[in-house]
A and B are shown apart, each in its own frame.
Chain A
Amino acid sequence: MVKTATLSIHYNILRSPLDGSTASSKDHIACFGERVSVKDYKSHKPLQRSSSNNRLAPSDVIQSVNFCAEQPRDRMSGSRVIRLDLASLQRAGRDPVHLLPCEIEHDGPANVNRYFSPAVKETKSEMSVSFRGRGLKGQEVSVPQGYSGMVLKEDHKPISEDEDRSLRVRSTFSTLTCWNLETPPSSDDGVVMAMNWPVIAEAIHAPIED
């Protein structure tokens, strides 16, 4: 049986103040975990589940995921729902993702595979490339354990602020390349340090077994 559930999901979007889009329109890079609370869409009553820990089970066929405010009362006051079509996850490929140390005032297609990817040089210690004539040094950073990276796309932007939004998964990734402006990459780089947060969050927020 197909359920349409409203899932409240805790998610952090890793967005550096200086990121640059190198992929298509309205793509967002998001990492989110599997800890969910599954409620019936209309009544907001928790669904009966066999496992008590509120994680998505392999047998769950969830057609879509709705992002919404965590409190049901906010939902009823009319804030909109953002729907993610999970079927697109199966069709999604794996595209390399690059995080640049600059702000590019552009949202749209870009010739990454012509100007950027072939120019990346790799030595044993580091990766290097140039963008707009500036030297960048990069490292591959992995998404935290138990997390998936997804590039989401919104095909039709809503006209009004109340209208529900609809996203699909364009591609997934488990590592991304983080580029510094001239500085050799290290474990002190913001994004690398950020990837440790889920470990700490787990330690702080996980329920304590009696």
Chain B
Amino acid sequence: MDLSEFEADNSRSCRLASVVPEVCRTEDCCLGIDEAGRGPVLGPMVYGICFCPVSMKQHLQDLKVADSKTLSEEERERLFVKLDEAKHFVGWALQVLSPNTISTSMLQRVKYNLNALSHDAAIGLVQHALDCGVQLKEVFVDTVGPAEKYQDKLSQRFPGVEVTVRPKADSLFPIVSAASICAKVARDHAVKDWKFVEDLGEAEMKYGSGYPNDPKTKAWLSQQLDPVFGYPQFVRFSWSTAKTLLDSKAVPVHWDDDDDDDEGGAKATAAKQNCSSVLSYYGRKKKNEEGAKRLPHRYFTERALETVRDL
């Protein structure tokens, strides 16, 4: 599997796709969606689709694309090779969501949570298939959030397509299993071949499974922690494990959209924003101090300019 397009810039998200088999443009097709790498705190999350003509479902089953969770990494690799060899009737596409994309999306001012990110990745991939001329009639996908809502959302988005959202879809439908294999193989490669833009030297490789409850992963995070910058871009900053460690061991950083600080609440926020807290209008009025300073013109406050009399 060629991930070079993703590797060229692993701070962004990337779409990779196979060539669309001719039969998929002429015959009714079924399509499966699955993901890999949703839980880990390290590396990308990959969404994958796999599609083939409905009439050839049995051929797909013959490839023995079983429930991918039970397979080892080597077995998955072998199965992907088989899928690749079946390119005359099987097509696939992937959306690789970089850990940096996951972090920045989930930590945005206007929050973009993981489920929404997942839904949009899946929708984007199905649309890609349609845009490539696939005659899509059936879609099978595992649950992400409430099953019925997801099914309705996808059905509305893709009229004319029968959408089936079912938990454990990858063990029920071979086409989902195939998608799962594609996604997992992509994730395995992306993680194994990860190039740290931060050039960390020797320490890079020993991070265990990448799951937040893995002690090896936690130890690696702790070891990698930089007090100012936090972590390399391999890490999902939005994960609570990552955040908690930063809160205890890294220097505090404040953004203008932070929730109120522990100290002060409304007054502190108002002071930071350079305006009066409404609370100052209550309570006893102070006498005007002698030689009270004139407030600067708002031209200066807007531009954060102040005359400095001392350094």
The answer to whether A114 and B199 have CB atoms under 8 Å apart is: yes
Bound complex: CA A82 to CA B307 (Å)? 16
Our pick among B11, B109, B228, B306 for the contact of A111 (Cβ within 8 Å) is B228
- Chain A residues 76 to 98 lying within 8 A of chain B, measured CB to CB, are 82
Bound complex: CA A190 to CA B198 (Å)? 31
Which residues from chain A contact B306 at a C-beta distance below 8 Å? 12-13, 15
Bound complex: CA A110 to CA B303 (Å)? 27
Is B257 engaged at the interface, CB distance under 8 Å to the other chain?
yes
How far in angstroms is the closest Cβ of chain A from B249?
A: 13
The answer to whether B251 and A106 have CB atoms under 8 Å apart is: yes
B interface footprint on A16-45 (CB within 8 Å = 1, 0 otherwise)? 111010100000100000000000000000
Bound complex: CA A193 to CA B230 (Å)? 32
Residue of B nearest to A114 (CB): B198
A interface footprint on B289-311 (CB within 8 Å = 1, 0 otherwise)? 00000000000001111111111
How far in angstroms is the closest Cβ of chain A from B252?
A: 5
Among B99-107, B140-148, B170-178, B203-211, the one that faces the other chain is: B99-107
In the complex where A115-B226, A133-B107 touch, is A102 in contact with B253 (Cβ < 8 A)? yes
The answer to whether A190 and B304 have CB atoms under 8 Å apart is: yes
Which residues from chain A contact B253 at a C-beta distance below 8 Å? 20, 102-105, 131-132
- Chain B residues 252 to 311 lying within 8 A of chain A, measured CB to CB, are 252-257, 272, 274, 302-311
Bound complex: CA A134 to CA B228 (Å)? 14
Residue of A nearest to B200 (CB): A114
The answer to whether B103 and A102 have CB atoms under 8 Å apart is: no
Is B156 engaged at the interface, CB distance under 8 Å to the other chain?
no
Is B227 engaged at the interface, CB distance under 8 Å to the other chain?
yes
B interface footprint on A38-65 (CB within 8 Å = 1, 0 otherwise)? 0000000000000000000000000000
The answer to whether A110 and B229 have CB atoms under 8 Å apart is: yes
How far in angstroms is the closest Cβ of chain B from A62?
A: 19
- Interface hub of A16, A114, A167, A190 (most chain B Cβ within 10 A): A114
Among B45-53, B76-84, B231-239, the one that faces the other chain is: B231-239
How far in angstroms is the closest Cβ of chain A from B39?
A: 18
In the complex where A102-B255, A104-B228, A114-B199 touch, is A130 in contact with B233 (Cβ < 8 A)? yes
Chain A residue total in the interface (Cβ 8 A): 45
Which residues from chain A contact B198 at a C-beta distance below 8 Å? 114-115, 118-119
The answer to whether B311 and A167 have CB atoms under 8 Å apart is: yes
Is B9 engaged at the interface, CB distance under 8 Å to the other chain?
yes
Residue of B nearest to A69 (CB): B309
The answer to whether A193 and B302 have CB atoms under 8 Å apart is: yes
Residue of A nearest to B104 (CB): A135
Bound complex: CA A194 to CA B233 (Å)? 33
B interface footprint on A181-203 (CB within 8 Å = 1, 0 otherwise)? 11000000011011001000000
How far in angstroms is the closest Cβ of chain A from B200?
A: 8
How far in angstroms is the closest Cβ of chain A from B101?
A: 9
How far in angstroms is the closest Cβ of chain B from A131?
A: 7
Is B108 engaged at the interface, CB distance under 8 Å to the other chain?
yes
How far in angstroms is the closest Cβ of chain A from B119?
A: 20
Bound complex: CA A188 to CA B249 (Å)? 36
How far in angstroms is the closest Cβ of chain B from A33?
A: 13
Residue of A nearest to B257 (CB): A181
Our pick among B108, B230, B256, B310 for the contact of A132 (Cβ within 8 Å) is B230
How far in angstroms is the closest Cβ of chain A from B284?
A: 28
The answer to whether B228 and A182 have CB atoms under 8 Å apart is: no
Bound complex: CA A114 to CA B201 (Å)? 11
Which residues from chain B contact A12 at a C-beta distance below 8 Å? 305-308
Bound complex: CA A16 to CA B100 (Å)? 27
Is A14 engaged at the interface, CB distance under 8 Å to the other chain?
yes
A-B pairs, top 5 by smallest CB distance, nearest first, are A133-B237, A133-B103, A115-B229, A194-B303, A135-B104
Chain B residues near A (Cβ < 8 Å):
9, 11, 100, 103-104, 107-109, 197-199, 226-230, 232-233, 236-238, 242, 246, 251-257, 272, 274, 302-311
Chain A residues near B (Cβ < 8 Å):
11-18, 20, 22, 28, 67, 69, 82, 101-106, 110-111, 114-116, 118-119, 121, 130-135, 152, 154, 165, 167, 181-182, 190-191, 193-194, 197
Please, could you name 22 A-B residue pairs with CB atoms under 8 Å apart, sorted by A? A12-B307, A14-B304, A17-B272, A17-B274, A20-B253, A102-B253, A103-B253, A104-B251, A105-B251, A105-B253, A118-B198, A121-B11, A131-B229, A132-B237, A132-B253, A133-B237, A134-B104, A134-B237, A167-B311, A181-B109, A181-B255, A190-B304
